[in-house]
Amino acid sequence: MLLSDIAERLAELAESPGFSVARFDDGDPFAGRVAVLPSAYNPPTRAHTSLLEVGAATEGVSAAAALLSTTNVDKQLFGAPLSHRVGMLLAARSAEPGLAVLSTNAARFADQAEALRIQYGRVEFDFIAGFDTLVRIFDERYYQDMPATLDRFFAAHRLIATNRAQATIDAVREFVDQPRVRPYRARIIVRELDPHPASLSSTQARQHAERGDHPPAVLPAVAAYIREHGLYAASPEA
């Protein structure tokens, strides 16, 4: 897909009056249950692809989808333009041919879930969350009525929770056993991510690219895309 076409579709998504989703790959239509990983993908890393592989290997799941969030509850947009983030995900798909590439204008998991239900009807979606995201899902700051919102979310979706960075799998299990999380425990599937990909981050990849180095945190196809388009390059000094 041409970069101009990606940018046009993202602009349409931004102008949508409600929560919406756009798909950018040419894969088969969704069927059954799909594991989706919402993230900023700035850039997509081996941690992201490992999380997607964990989701795809979860019982009952038939496919995995990267879901680029065009808005964030905590951060302003910085780094690579959204069109290039889609481009990097499509480059990653060359190594992960079954991967679907989506984008949404919804920031919260609950709103992303609504957008997916509107767009894909009877397809079931599981959401993948590393530990930092798992904590945010159960943070009252992001809700007017957290119990009601989470009740609706977990009635329709499972959550695949994993370790990330310094948070071990034991930390994930302990969090899931907290009183405010326990009511939804039956709908939360805890899976362990291997230590190396769990330690990788988009911040590390951006820092390597800014220095002109090969970013080891990303797949070769993504590294090639970053070099080709000069993404994350340090601004020349005046």
What residue spans define the domains of the chain? 3-199
Spans of the chain below 70 pLDDT: 74-75, 235-238
**Amino acid occupying residue 114:** E
Nearest alpha carbon to residue 201 among 46, 71, 61? 46
> What is the sign of the dihedral through the CA atoms of 174, 179, 180 and 185?
positive
User: In the CATH hierarchy, which fold is given to the domain comprising 3-199?
Assistant: Rossmann fold (3.40.50)
**Amino acid occupying residue 33:** R
Tokens of 238: 């005046």
Nearest alpha carbon to residue 161 among 122, 139, 182, 135? 135
Where does 86-172 show beta strands of DSSP type E? 100-104, 124-130, 159-162
DSSP SS3 for 38 = strand
What per-residue confidence (pLDDT) applies to 208?
92
For residues 92 and 219, the answer to whether their CB atoms sit within 8 Å is yes
